[in-house]
Chain A
């Protein structure tokens, strides 16, 4: 997959998910909500903790851009218009938080994928997908952390 940024992105891409933050000046990052009572981490804004039940104890945390592969599937059949095969990956981020995304720059073969392999979170255009108004989106992907980005 081509990770060459800049050309494919419009000037002001929107975040593909609301836990992806795009600062005016600075690099995009993923934001979690952490319960200050029990330290559970959630994706997306919320007031209450579903682990311990505490109310209004949530604070935002910047999630790490590195982690390890927890589990995956290799998707060969999907909905019409979606390129296959691709690797659907579940990644435990360093410091907490688990997210799901596409694992790129790895052949979609079980022999090429190792549980626990270190991966980086990288940000790029959302595969050219646009909404009804023609807006571009920025998304995140995983790639092996020894790969050049």
Chain B
């Protein structure tokens, strides 16, 4: 099988665009990624589009109606917060399989404000606040408290994740926010679901990101190898059965399974990873994934955040983009935005937030329900 390379990738600055349509927002990222590669929509052989909010609305085709209806196959993908990563992976798989030499993946989302989730269905009476909580801040608070139960992780340690990621985003002009949030600010922010305060919840924003994937032959033929990023691994998992499944979505097992498969596919280990963009939908979640991704031993995540190993300049910087907590989390776009961030570092083009000497990076997303997507990327040599 051929190797597949990212030859163009970009994202729009995340924000709130209530006056624009989903296809318009997606089209902007598609144009940016095409421009990054120096190619046009006429060069693309297929489009893989990730979007949740209008999952039945043929968003991919409507993006082509904005930028060029060339008649290529379009696949519309929906996979919770793993939607963007799944679209990217489908695009990657089509190139790996030899079906196409040049394809584009676009992730796009337009979000409302406010709480996501809620307990129970619509039958009878509302279960939210009666049978516990099904809001996302609570679900991830409870996942964090499971870690606290096992390892004594503290509210302060969870809060430090948010301090770090907000700090990182001050160096990322494409992040929603560029503001420092000191520890006491994070801990004293409005409590949403203990231990997650408002500043420990990801930001609902609109956004889009896109990537152009090429076969090795095509990338060489077009002279695009100098800035190309090799996809060393692409893995997608669902959640295996767990005894607490029905009341406690498991974000750990599917991540561990995906990480093991990704390291094997890439032929390397966690110690080879120079930077990570992982799914910090809530500050509590980030802590779990240090261990799930093998960045440290089980029970060491609290120490990692305390000692700054996951901050820019540390052993393995995590979410130098600002993460979902501060860059923002437009669900369908997030997976491809992560690919953009890691690729930008591997290309040495990340400016002030550049992870020095970055050679290999990992992206991770979790869609509750559940889907875990992991990609390992390396600068083409």
B130 touches A139 (CB 8 A): yes
From A42, A85, A100, give the contact of B248 (CB < 8 A).
A100
B246 touches A98 (CB 8 A): yes
A137 touches B146 (CB 8 A): no
Question: Which residue from chain B places its CB closest to the CB of A51 in the assembled complex?
Answer: B241
From A51, A71, A77, A100, give the contact of B131 (CB < 8 A).
A100
B193 touches A76 (CB 8 A): yes
From A17, A71, A75, A83, give the contact of B149 (CB < 8 A).
A71
A96 smallest CB distance to B (angstroms): 8
Interface of B is mostly: loop
Known A50-B241, A74-B193, A76-B190; judge A88-B132 contact (CB<8 A): yes
Known A73-B142, A79-B118; judge A98-B247 contact (CB<8 A): yes
A126 touches B194 (CB 8 A): no
A71 touches B248 (CB 8 A): yes
B115 touches A79 (CB 8 A): yes
- Decide if B133 is an interface residue (CB 8 Å cutoff): yes
Q: Which positions 202-260 of chain B face chain A at CB distance < 8 Å?
A: 241, 243-244, 246-248
A78 to B192, CA, bound (A): 8
A100 to B141, CA, bound (A): 14
- Decide if A106 is an interface residue (CB 8 Å cutoff): no
B306 contacts across to A, CB distance below 8 A? none
A92 contacts across to B, CB distance below 8 A? 244
A33 to B97, CA, bound (A): 43
Question: Which residue from chain B places its CB closest to the CB of A69 in the assembled complex?
Answer: B149
A134 smallest CB distance to B (angstroms): 11
B115 touches A98 (CB 8 A): no
- Decide if A43 is an interface residue (CB 8 Å cutoff): yes
A110 touches B155 (CB 8 A): yes
We find that the number of chain A residues with CB closer than 8 angstroms to chain B is 44
**1/0 contact string of B129-172 vs chain A (CB within 8 Å):** 11111010110011101101100000100000000000000000
B135 contacts across to A, CB distance below 8 A? 75, 78-79
A102 touches B129 (CB 8 A): yes
From B124, B137, B244, give the contact of A131 (CB < 8 A).
B124
B192 touches A77 (CB 8 A): yes
- Decide if A101 is an interface residue (CB 8 Å cutoff): yes
A139 touches B131 (CB 8 A): yes
Known A17-B127, A76-B190, A129-B125; judge A99-B243 contact (CB<8 A): no
Question: Which residue from chain A places its CB closest to the CB of B242 in the assembled complex?
Answer: A51
- Decide if A72 is an interface residue (CB 8 Å cutoff): yes
Question: Which residue from chain B places its CB closest to the CB of A114 in the assembled complex?
Answer: B149
B148 contacts across to A, CB distance below 8 A? 115
A127 to B128, CA, bound (A): 11
Task: Name the residue in B115, B126, B143, B247 with the highest tally of chain A Cβ atoms < 10 Å from its Cβ.
Answer: B247
A77 touches B190 (CB 8 A): yes
- Decide if B268 is an interface residue (CB 8 Å cutoff): no
From B125, B133, B243, give the contact of A73 (CB < 8 A).
B133
Q: Which positions 70-129 of chain B face chain A at CB distance < 8 Å?
A: 115, 118-120, 124-129
A63 contacts across to B, CB distance below 8 A? none
A119 to B353, CA, bound (A): 49
B125 touches A137 (CB 8 A): yes
B246 touches A102 (CB 8 A): no
A139 to B128, CA, bound (A): 12
Which 9 A-B pairs rank lowest in CB-CB distance, beginning with the nearest?
A73-B141, A88-B132, A82-B129, A74-B194, A100-B247, A88-B133, A100-B132, A129-B125, A51-B241
Q: Which A residues form the contact surface with B (CB < 8 A)?
A: 14, 16-17, 40-43, 50-51, 70-79, 82-86, 88-90, 92, 98-102, 110, 115-116, 126-127, 129-131, 137, 139-140
Given contacts A88-B132, A98-B244, A98-B246, 11 further A-B contacts (CB under 8 A): A16-B124, A16-B127, A43-B247, A71-B145, A73-B141, A85-B191, A86-B133, A88-B138, A99-B247, A110-B194, A139-B131
- In the assembled complex, 29 residue pairs joining A and B whose CB atoms fall closer than 8 Å, in A order, are A17-B120, A70-B149, A70-B244, A71-B142, A71-B146, A73-B137, A73-B142, A73-B195, A74-B193, A75-B138, A76-B190, A77-B137, A77-B190, A77-B192, A77-B193, A79-B126, A82-B126, A83-B129, A88-B132, A89-B132, A92-B244, A98-B244, A100-B119, A102-B131, A115-B145, A126-B130, A129-B126, A131-B124, A137-B124
